[in-house]
Amino acid sequence: MDTPVLHPSTAEPASQPSHAAQAKPRRAPRKTAPPAPALHASAPQTAAARKAAHNAASASFAALTSKLNYLDKSDIEQVRKAYRFADEAHLGQLRASGEPYITHPIAVAAQCAEWKLDAQAIMAALMHDAMEDCGISKPDLIEKFGAPVAELVDGLTKLEKLEFTTREENQAESFRKMLLAMARDVRVILIKLADRSHNMRTMGDMPRPKWSRISRETLDIYAPIAHRLGLNQTYRELQELSFRYLLPWRYATLSKAVAKARSRRRDLIQKVERDVQATFEQAGMYINLSGREKTLYSIYRKMDEKHLSFAQVTDMYGFRLVVPTVTDCYTAMGILHQMYKPVPGKFKDHIAIGKLNGYQSLHTTVVGPSGVNVEFQMRTEAMHVVAESGVAAHWLYKANAPGGAEAERLGTQWLQSLLDIQHETRDAAEFWDHVKVDLFPDAVYVFTPKSKIMAMPRGATVVDFAYAVHTDIGDHTVAAKVNDQQVPLRTEVQNGDVIEVITAPTSSPNPAWLGFVRTARARSKIRHHLKTMALDESQALGDKLLTQALRSEGIERVPTEDAAHQALWDKLLRFSGNKTRGELLVDIGLGKRIASIVAKRLVSLLGELGEKPDALLMSKERFTAHESISQGAIVLDGSESATVQYAPCCRPLPGDGIVGYLGRGEGVMVHTNQCAVGKKLLQKDSERFITVEWADELVRAFVAAVVVTVQSGKGVLARVAAAMASAEADIMQVDLGRDSEVGAPTADLRFVVAVRDTAHLDTVLRTLARTPTVLRAQRAVST
């Protein structure tokens, strides 16, 4: 089973995934053993082949059972039962290598056994393809093995049987399913990573055209997930194997270069190892010293990102010191710095400030013999377990590794955030966009005003920081200070910054924030708030419009949804096709339903209950209503957001006569009553117009378009801008005109300015008209 590739830059189109890297294409014929008649016709050679295949599978399972000694006998028997079930389900299926297919699930289960996962996870690993490829249903698995195992297998199964509009939609939905199953139970992703690791190890048996797609998918999705969960050993292996099959020529070239460098520097590395061992023995300090070499992929990425030649990569070699205590880590660093000169700026303390995935170590780079840079890492045994196994450390060393619990907490924290994002994001593609942002390798560390350390992804802004502290802080952010200096909200945070967020109770998220926030949490919270706010405002507007329409029919107010009117609302909702009263009001507010039509139906239903219209109210409302307007009035003060928009064609200002057009699903669009576009709409859809009027007290400025005709010359724009400033108008946008001829005596300058009302705009225009070099200044209107 394979999760779809979602990398936008992959040149090769993403075909429907096969069983990860290995065999079992879903839409291509699978290699299977011959049907029964052929077996009988084939003589001893076929029988021998079947026997060899059976022996290979038996040998594989025997190797697996030898790794299950940490389970009790009853659990091992359950695993054996799952093996027999999987073996029967995959009977006759072969891998691309020609091996029985069951050898793959056994290899996946063996990897899970290396992590000491429980019996349920081992059973799910053995059956992880049974539902997807063998026609086994989830109820079958529940009946035979229980709900927990069935849920694990289901979480590893793609959504192949549903109909999707595009392949990308299928991919996004399948990926979301796996991630959410992973968020509920981290064993899902551990089994999936074991599955992908084995498939990448045997990629060489696959047709070469599939190498690129599967390797790119592994590099872009599965390796970052492994890193995010602290599975660094798996992370490095997936990166290395992906590099090998994605760029085979570069891998081979770099591999040869590293082998030559290794042989040249073998003596040097051995000397460093001997010297370090001797020095620590002399100091009476116990260490477990092991050498390490940069992976080929990390060398390649460094060369690519920093535009270096292979000869310029100087820190290919390193050593790891595992010591008894945290204090010993710092002591060891001091001893090393006495032996070799440290490289400035190459010291990192990931013990005091651990990485987001739980990783902790001291890193330092020193200048070794012959001027070769050598990196040293110092950590305790518990840190080493977490560094290599991440969340798997919970199972791997649950008896004696305190670090395992911390790694699981940090991993679970990220997984829980996936559920939060899912709760606020129902669209699969949008969910994937949120999640991939969080699969980052780097982080910066910043401080709250109370000196609490927080890790943020590189490139995060102060708005991301605000949402990381608390959703309410983010939602009400109005300004921020970084190191006591006022900064714009789009400012990126840097290591060591002290960030103070300034909030206001009346503030709310700005849609423009989506253009610069970096984290999935901030992005999903902003979108969720904007959607919720739009629905709330639409419902309030719909309630107001329906009330006005009912008053015109002689009914004072919208009936409540109490026991006496429940049957009435049920009939009305069946008539409108809505599920709830709130949904109906939202549709009215968005213009999807006409308030007057709903009101007439409501009056009819009230009549059946014996509630008659008030003739006096009806006469009063109809006498005072404007003859061309069919619904009630709305007062505008500038505080409206998504439900009320001001038409860009005429840009209405307080003081203008205005009308409101209730667009289909768009809320209210406000036009001036002289707007040509508004007049056309009035002739076409008069029943969709409502009365709108300006409030006495306005809460903000409004924008207007102004055309200023000037004599061409130096400093003209500056003089026009100064005149506007003197009239207290804010310039929002300037268009100098692309069609202006060089040397022309006059030019039209188009401005969008913020003013209080029409009287203020008139003042601005008079001020411009008195300015030297200005020939004419007028408001731009639609025609």
Dump the DSSP string for 227-280.
HHTT-HHHHHHHHHHHHHHHSHHHHHHHHHHHHHHHHHSHHHHHHHHHHHHHHH
The per-residue pLDDT for 57 is 57
Q: Residue ranges of the chain with pLDDT lower than 50? A: 1-45, 159-165, 397-404, 406-408, 410-411, 440-441, 626-632
For CA atoms 507, 510, 516, 518, give the dihedral sign.
positive
Can you tell me the distance from the alpha carbon of 325 to that of 321, in angstroms, rounded to the nearest whole number?
A: 12
The per-residue pLDDT for 525 is 85
Angle, vertex CA 163, rays to CA 159 and CA 167, nearest 5: 75
Angle, vertex CA 55, rays to CA 50 and CA 58, nearest 5: 125
The per-residue pLDDT for 632 is 46
Angle, vertex CA 404, rays to CA 403 and CA 409, nearest 5: 100
Eight-state DSSP code of residue 17: P
Eight-state DSSP code of residue 219: I
Can you tell me the distance from the alpha carbon of 324 to that of 327, in angstroms, rounded to the nearest whole number?
A: 9
Can you tell me the distance from the alpha carbon of 386 to that of 360, in angstroms, rounded to the nearest whole number?
A: 8
Contact between 550 and 605 (Cβ < 8 Å): no
By annotation, the residues acting in catalysis are 132-133
Alpha carbon distance, N-terminus to C-terminus of the chain: 60
619's CB contacts (< 8 A; 6+ apart) are none
Long-range contacts of the stretch 392-395 (C-beta < 8 A, 24+): 392/115, 392/117, 392/190, 392/231, 393/230, 395/115, 395/116, 395/117, 395/118
SS3 609: coil
The per-residue pLDDT for 737 is 67
Contact between 685 and 631 (Cβ < 8 Å): no
Contact between 558 and 547 (Cβ < 8 Å): yes
Can you tell me the distance from the alpha carbon of 189 to that of 45, in angstroms, rounded to the nearest whole number?
A: 41
Beta bridge partners of residue 288, listed in sequence order: 322
Q: Which helix (H) or strand (E) holds 499?
A: strand 499-503
Q: Which helix (H) or strand (E) holds 739?
A: none
Show the tokens assigned to 515.
């253009």
Comparing C-alpha atoms, which of 344, 469, 393, 366 is closest to residue 234? 393
Enter the pTM of the model: 0.54
Amino acid at site 107: A
658-663 and 689-694 strand pairing: antiparallel
